[in-house]
Structure 1
């Protein structure tokens, strides 16, 4: 059994390299991939390994945390899986957060780095100026130029089932959002649970296309559906967000078999 989500992904990429893993249905006017795009497992693997090496070269490793504000873009998975390979936990950022919410999350999570879309880089840079602990902010469009080195050194042991995969935050409707630490075992079990439900939710290996409009800072899309897709060599299609006016267009365009 795989010890990390990255291990499971690499195994699937080797077994079903040409299966489609990620799909962004077309959405005219969207800031990214307006015509839609798909990435196979082998294409995703190439991007993941490239980013893994870039993060490793900068000194990131087991025990670090990197905040990601990449919305529901397919590129989120390139960075998430690259970091997971190194034992780096991700802190997904809600793109609707305002300044005070961003500052609280970045302060509470003690993230070592924030990788963000270009349009939000100024917002995170303002947060970084107010946070007591230094927070390097990298515009993802310029990330190929390299990452700043983290402050603390990484742990020496290899990542495994018990390693932190993500730090997800609750909505905070009754107070400050609460940070939930999820490890690789949680992710792998969540994906396997969904895979094995059966009945009307029987999932065929390598033939399904999940359409999930939920955000990647939420455990349903990121921990459950995405991991299930990886474990079953299937495709995860994600629009920017749920839209009642676009929903059936997204269903058709993504060729969804499960919604």
Structure 2
């Protein structure tokens, strides 16, 4: 129960089967140059294995007739709390009922994930650790929506909370579920090579999806040039020619990104060009086009 008169706050909670990066604690989140906080982010580690000093760690034998047991792993709980309080408990219940509906839940989760991704990205840069992964909804073990007093939600507790069902798999992804596995086997078996532009394009996509349009523009410039060079002869000539018409715009977007944030028109063009590079890579992987077409 919430004590009478206590302010109520929304909370969106994720649990991931790894340590996200930021140390457990409470983080106040503000937009650049803003004085007021927009969110509070609470990071907690659950079920962390006992840490022993490195000097005492030694290899130990495993009996041949005993199957190896999976190692215990830490789970991270991230709770995103918007800073604006709800009017009263009736408003809180109404928000919770509305937020979990199919037509609203994606927006709620996307906003919360953007806050969490910003924190993880900042941690990656602060620690100079390129291996810190970006959190994504489909990787979460559990996703919850709820509300409670400030003390409750900051401590991982709540007045009322619901656990959301896992996202429905995309129908098209089900139809083509075997294609990535077939390609993986081809790559590992030495029958197909990976391209540098594939990795660079994925990095641009990760930046754009996380709202980092400046970084995406700079990353896409390199990915784009690599794609033009590496895809020559492996996709339809018409597709490659269409991509080349975008070279100047890609360069202009990258130059603009050097001096500040991109405007809405440039960001939209960036997204469209990235999608076309991704389409060319899919065509190359599927082998559905001939270079002379």
Instruction: Tell me if TM exceeds 0.5.
Output: no
TM-score of Structure 1 vs Structure 2, range by shorter chain: under 0.3
State the TM-score, normalized to the length of structure 1: 0.23
State the TM-score, normalized to the length of structure 2: 0.21
Higher radius of gyration, 1 or 2: 2
Higher helix proportion, which one? 2
Higher relative contact order (CA 8 A, sep 6+): 1
